[in-house]
């Protein structure tokens, strides 16, 4: 852990925070409508519990995944396929699995 913290963590943390800063305004702007669309599409009610999201340098071979039963999405901050609107699509895609 000390080696990782010294050599890798500062860059990973910066990349993760930059990703969050870019995606958060999109979630604020479109999140409620996406939640409603998912609920309609699957004929379910939106759960009351929050969706936990961890942003990481690596998130499995696909770049993102979710775990349940409590919805927890893990998404890569370095995967070029998950930038801007593709990032929000992946977050809600993974969320819809649960």
DSSP 35: H
- pLDDT higher for 46 or 64? 64
Domain hosting 70: range is 2-96
CB 87 within 8 A of CB 63: no
Distance CA 53, CA 34 (A): 16
From the CB of residue 88, how many other CB atoms can be counted at a distance below 10 Å?
19
For β-strands 64-67 and 72-76, DSSP reports them as antiparallel
Number of domains into which the chain is organized: 1
The pLDDT confidence band at residue 90, using thresholds 50, 70 and 90, is: very high
**pTM over the 0.85 mark:** yes
More reliable by pLDDT, 44 or 46: 44
- Answer yes or no: are the C-beta atoms of 82 and 26 closer than 8 Å: no
């Amino acid at each position: 852990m000390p080696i990782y913290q010294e050599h890798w963590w500062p860059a990973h943390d910066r990349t993760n925070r930059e990703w969050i800063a870019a995606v958060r305004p999109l979630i604020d702007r479109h999140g409620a409508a996406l939640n409603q669309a998912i609920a309609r599409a699957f004929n379910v009610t939106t759960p009351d519990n929050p969706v936990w999201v961890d942003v990481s340098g690596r998130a499995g071979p696909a770049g993102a995944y979710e775990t349940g039963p409590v919805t927890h999405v893990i998404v890569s901050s370095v995967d070029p396929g998950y930038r801007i609107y593709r990032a929000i699509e992946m977050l809600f895609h993974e969320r819809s699995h649960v």
